[in-house]
Amino acid sequence: MSASPPPPGRPRRPTRADIIAPGFSTPMDSPLVPPFPFSFRNAEIMSVVYRTDPAAATALLPPPLELAGDVVMVHIYRMNDTDWLGAYGEANIMIPARLPGMKKAAGYSPWFFLDAPGGIAQGREVHGQPKKFARPRLRRRADIHLAQIVRDRVEVFTATMAYKQRRAAIADLKRWFDFSVNLNLKAIDHIDNRPAIRQLTARKLARVKVHECWRGACTVELRPHIQAPLWRLPVAEALEGFYWRADFTLVAGEIVHDYLARKPQSKRGKGGES
């Protein structure tokens, strides 16, 4: 005799197949982490590029990654309409890096900051992105774009650029390095304190549709904060800023280096993909 379906509102008990399936998350009846793919619509981004101390950037790179430039790229996102996660703010701080054998540099992220619990959990659990809580802000103030990261009421990052003065293409921003490919160090332990995962991962944004893009001169200011240490990448020269608005989709990525493999091997891809 077959079992009756559960009453409306009562969750079905998961099977082993459910638990080991890709995209499974807890709590089982109200999962926090969205499965791939999920899409972002009408996201507003301010991206600024500045020159920094190469030795300081190298100190933040896990081996075998190699530094591929002396710049920092900071993206401040206002996510207006995201599957599962809704509206929230995010900041991604990138430095150009490559694995030995990669032809083009990608963006390694020493820090992320978000104000969305689901986004923090998904980034850390799935990608290995070093996401922490803060309040990224992207606003218009009269004739400027203003981007900030605020942690414990400290404005640890502030950038400005003029409001929509010079049209651009997203390729103008990519000339610094291919930021659409994001490298991260994923580190997760077993409950018994043994290392479970030690990997370098890569993800690439898919189905990117840019609605508008603007560029111009920018200012960048950092303030010290022990829990949001962007000051470790000091500003030597503010180079340029971009404001752009786009749709894109986050899809499954790949493992490009496994530290726990018996003979750790890196995947050396062509172009910007690893």
Kindly state whether residue 238 falls inside one of the protein's structural domains: yes
Per-residue tokens: 6:
């559960």
Instruction: Answer positive or negative: Cα dihedral of 228, 233, 237, 241.
Output: negative
Identify residue 62 by its one-letter amino acid code. P
Kindly state whether residue 58 falls inside one of the protein's structural domains: yes
Catalytic residue among 103, 131, 164, 174: 131
Summarised one tens digit per residue, pLDDT across range 22-75 is: 999 999 899 999 999 999 999 999 999 999 999 999 999 999 999 999 999 999
Kindly state whether residue 57 falls inside one of the protein's structural domains: yes
CATH code for the domain in which residue 45 is found:
2.40.400.10
Kindly state whether residue 253 falls inside one of the protein's structural domains: yes
Active site residue 204: no
Non-local (6+) Cβ contacts of 126 within 8 A are 33
CA angle 17, 21, 29 (to 5 degrees): 85
Kindly state whether residue 44 falls inside one of the protein's structural domains: yes
| Confidence (pTM) | 0.91
| Number of domains the chain contains | 1
Select from 49, 38, 48, 121 the least CA-distant residue to 79: 38
**Parent domain of 154:** 31-258
Radius of gyration of the chain (CA): 20
CB of 83 within 8 A of CB of 38? yes
pLDDT at 244 (0 to 100): 98
Kindly state whether residue 16 falls inside one of the protein's structural domains: no
pLDDT at 89 (0 to 100): 98
Non-local (6+) Cβ contacts of 54 within 8 A are 67, 70
Non-local (6+) Cβ contacts of 216 within 8 A are 161, 162, 165, 166, 240, 241
Give me the residues of the chain with pLDDT under 50, please.
270-274
Distance CA 265, CA 274 (A): 12
Strands 86-98 and 71-82 come out as antiparallel
Kindly state whether residue 127 falls inside one of the protein's structural domains: yes
Q: Do you find a cis peptide bond into 64, omega within 30 degrees of 0?
A: yes
CA angle 48, 139, 211 (to 5 degrees): 70
Kindly state whether residue 78 falls inside one of the protein's structural domains: yes
pLDDT at 11 (0 to 100): 79
